[in-house]
Structure 1
Amino acid sequence: MSDPKENMALLLQSETDFGLGLLRQQNISESLAFSPLSIALALSLVHVAAKGETRDQIREALVKGSTDEQLEQHFANISAALLAAERGTEVKLANHVFTRAGFKIKQSYLDDVKKLYNAGASSLDFDNKEATAEAINNFVRENTGDHIKKIIGSDSINSDLVAVLTNALYFKADWQNKFKKDSTFKSEFFSSADSKREIDFLHASSVSRDYAENDQFQVLSLPYKDNTFALTIFLPKTRFGLTESLKTLDSATIQHLLSNVSSTSVNVQIPKWKIETKLGLEEALQSLGIKKAFDNDADLGNMADGLYVSKVTHKALIEVDEEGTKAAAATTVSISLKSAMFVMEEPKDFTADHPFFFVLSKDNHPLFVGLHH
């Protein structure tokens, strides 16, 4: 991975693969949203703790074909780029390691996650379950603009639990081109052949927007004021073709479409939406190859001996309206003791009145992905 440009293409493809891989493990017949980046950052905290095969599997799932140093550098770079958002685009990104008071975690681990990912650390009395859950939830709430109020319940704090590795991500931005409120109208959204509902649609006619298409999808990319960030909608050309299209959609196609949008005259009609999702990711991550971390052979020896990953919880929300977008995500990884140029043309009609796939990205790095049904 020597040529920087080629290197970046590989990284973008890896991240997109990771996001698509997680998406395919979910119930894709309903709306959902999640942040592959938040999940990857929480797993990066596990990567630092892991040794041997446990570490290799995490690295391969997150950034295929990279070295440990490349993975660390990559996520440190992305974090820095996000936090440098400008023009009123607000990004919060925070990592934290909550540990059980009295349980010895290697100081070198805490130093490394601080240095690499600016992760803070707190030791809490895990025997006081309510206070522990509240401390973790407060951290998440503060770092997601109050959008994710609860990620962990006191019932998740048990006697085997020794650490909760947490990532929180918040994004809020205005569109480069806002939608006029008085253009918003109610119309039917067709979830399936036999199911439709009336919803609010944002609307703009004969406007110049970033657009691309292939045989399967019409693609509309809507930049924010800081135009390194954009929301891209992949609308299947076949009305109820989303499930079928997702079977063959790959990261190369997504990245190709993201980087080949061009200014086109479009009649835009997209839903105003809010999607909230909570996911347990243990099985999905194992099917993406992160197996060892979850079993009795796990080696998280850079943190302490005798530990494994018992649970990975993710919550995300995305809200799209006339002004812009708010999106928030949080991921917790529970670590437990082992049991033990412009031409006038006929405008393209982009009418998103049936299920579609979407990606919220920064320089084509997927921050949030999801489905709208």
Structure 2
Amino acid sequence: MAAEEGNLIACQHGQAALAARLLKRVSAGRTSSNLIFSPLSIHVALALMSAGAAEDTLDEILSLAGAPSRDDLEAFVKGVVVERVLADRSGIGGPSVAFACGSWTDKTLPLKPTYRDTVVGTYKGETWAVDFRNHPVESRREINAWVAKATRNLITEVLDPYSPSETLHVVANAIYFKAEWRSIFDKDDTVDEEFHLLDGSTVDDVPFMRRPWRFYQRIACHDGFRVLQLPYKSCEDDSSGYFSYKLRENLPEFSMCVFLPDEHDGLWGLVDKLTSRPEFLREHLPTRHVPVGKFRLPKFKLTYMASIRGVLQDVGLRLPFDRLLANMTEIVGDEESGAMQLCVDEVVHKAVVEMNEEGSEAAAVTVESDEELGFSLCDDYDVPRPEPEPTVDFVADHPFAFFIIEETSGTVVFAGHVIDPTKEE
């Protein structure tokens, strides 16, 4: 039992390490535009990829995912991610969460039973046989329709139906997240102000959400930056508060964490710090509530879609994409034909997030395609203090990094940065 728990902790640390490496690499390619992506979705994509891999290819995937073994990675994704972090809590007033994964294979290629059992049993997914060879457009449209349903239509397309490709196998996972703030913002307090860009210019009329003077918030002040942690509501409060307290003890706790550099052009230096160690983010989260003075946080909606094949290759994943060396023989094959040699042709990632006075809505999808080739429980507004404390300002009027995290597991569900809140990309 101790060994199993240790292996789950190793997977958790591996997930945090992957999130840091991905943030550093993806941010490097988005220095002039906004960014939103889901490290968790990509980590699950690696787990799904590992289900079809063997030998050196499997070892390389597990190394990047930070997992001791494939069994440990599957146990972690099933027990921590699917059944806890991404379990829907909308029925009790908490976040509306949806996780889905699917595998589409050309009807001429029989899935191996062990692979099908992993997708369906471990990841609570579904498998389909489609006609990629003769009806590629219709097959890709079917996948896009599945993505749209899984993400509540926040993401409607991840595959171009008319893209010329000889794809024979596609694996996708989708995450949808929508939650209210534990203490929502008053729309009447929202004002338009200017936002300072990295080049020294400004954009006007940016809607900023505000808090009343001396409203208590989780804020930490560090050398060169400040961190705001906005908790999402985890369940409905009853009149006594007893029910919600007991319930919250066993519920995931989500929050948005905003890392704001002191300097207007300090974002990239802060990203370097954030990605220096996997533990950096968690170690610098606020530990208490403080009264706020000036408080402004911009509303924004961000979208990101790109191939992340190059990103994954840059952080160490090469064999699954190699047409000669990839060993993805655990996906398709039967006793008569034997195992078929596939490789991962492409990995597409798309994410969307919107933040406003009520809360946040976000979704992410990661798609792999193969070709046949050889916590705190106290309320923000009721923290007793023996005497008045100095107020802390938090004015996010210049570029910042943000994360949506699950606090008890340390899982980074979404990550990104805001360079210009008036732009969606």
Asked whether the two chains share a fold, i.e. TM above 0.5, the reply is yes
Match in the other structure for 1:35: 38
TM-score w.r.t. the length of structure 1 is: 0.94
Q: Distance in 2 between the 1:7 and 1:213 partners?
A: 34
Q: Which moved more, 1:181-190 or 1:8-17?
A: 8-17
Preserved contact between residue 11 and residue 72 of structure 2 (Cα < 8 Å): no
- Deviation string 1:296-324 (CA, Å, 9 cap, x unpaired) is 21111111321000100010000000001
SS in 2 for 1:154: coil
Stretches of structure 1 that go unaligned for 5 or more consecutive residues are: none
Pick one of 236, 244, 250 that aligns with 2:269: 244
Larger radius of gyration: 2
Structure 1 residue 144 corresponds to structure 2 residue 151? yes
Structure 1 residue 263 corresponds to structure 2 residue 289? yes
Change (3 A) 1:5 1:301: closer
TM-score w.r.t. the length of structure 2 is: 0.82
Match in the other structure for 1:73: 75
Change (3 A) 1:88 1:40: same
Structure 1 residue 59 corresponds to structure 2 residue 62? yes
Residue 291 of structure 1 deviates from its aligned partner by 1.0
Match in the other structure for 1:332: 367
SS in 2 for 1:319: strand
Aligned length: 369
Pick one of 77, 89, 99 that aligns with 1:93: 99
One-letter identity of the residue aligned with 2:87: L
Match in the other structure for 1:350: 394
Match in the other structure for 1:235: 260
Q: Distance in 2 between the 1:17 and 1:91 partners?
A: 24
Structure number with higher strand proportion: 1
One-letter identity of the residue aligned with 1:134: R
Structure 1 residue 280 corresponds to structure 2 residue 307? yes
Stretches of structure 2 that go unaligned for 5 or more consecutive residues are: 235-251, 333-339, 375-382, 420-425
Residue 118 of structure 1 deviates from its aligned partner by 1.1
Preserved contact between residue 51 and residue 302 of structure 1 (Cα < 8 Å): yes
Q: Distance in 2 between the 1:345 and 1:140 partners?
A: 49
Match in the other structure for 2:247: none
Pick one of 192, 197, 209 that aligns with 1:191: 197
Q: Distance in 1 between the 2:390 and 2:3 partners?
A: 41
Q: Distance in 1 between the 2:165 and 2:3 partners?
A: 48
SS in 1 for 2:197: strand
- Deviation string 1:62-94 (CA, Å, 9 cap, x unpaired) is 1x2522222111111211112143424100000
Residue 284 of structure 1 deviates from its aligned partner by 0.8
Residue 217 of structure 1 deviates from its aligned partner by 2.1
SS in 2 for 1:299: coil
One-letter identity of the residue aligned with 1:113: V
Preserved contact between residue 39 and residue 415 of structure 2 (Cα < 8 Å): yes
Q: Distance in 2 between the 1:73 and 1:84 partners?
A: 19
Q: Distance in 2 between the 1:72 and 1:15 partners?
A: 13
Preserved contact between residue 98 and residue 121 of structure 1 (Cα < 8 Å): yes
% identical aligned pairs: 29
Change (3 A) 1:68 1:108: closer
Change (3 A) 1:202 1:4: farther
Pick one of 178, 187, 197 that aligns with 1:181: 187
SS in 2 for 1:244: helix
SS in 1 for 2:97: strand
Q: Distance in 2 between the 1:11 and 1:271 partners?
A: 35
Residue 16 of structure 1 deviates from its aligned partner by 2.4
Preserved contact between residue 42 and residue 95 of structure 1 (Cα < 8 Å): no
Preserved contact between residue 277 and residue 316 of structure 1 (Cα < 8 Å): yes
Q: Distance in 1 between the 2:2 and 2:371 partners?
A: 38
Residue 218 of structure 1 deviates from its aligned partner by 0.5
Match in the other structure for 2:53: 50
Q: CA RMSD in A?
A: 1.9
Preserved contact between residue 264 and residue 342 of structure 1 (Cα < 8 Å): no
Q: Distance in 2 between the 1:10 and 1:209 partners?
A: 32
Residue 108 of structure 1 deviates from its aligned partner by 2.1
1:159-170 alignment runs, 5 A limit: 159=166, 161-170=167-176
Residue 191 of structure 1 deviates from its aligned partner by 1.6
One-letter identity of the residue aligned with 2:116: L
Residue 293 of structure 1 deviates from its aligned partner by 0.5
Q: Distance in 2 between the 1:299 and 1:283 partners?
A: 19
- Deviation string 1:224-277 (CA, Å, 9 cap, x unpaired) is 11170100101112221111221232321101123x431111243111000000
Match in the other structure for 2:23: 23
One-letter identity of the residue aligned with 1:372: V
One-letter identity of the residue aligned with 1:208: Y
Structure 1 residue 202 corresponds to structure 2 residue 205? no
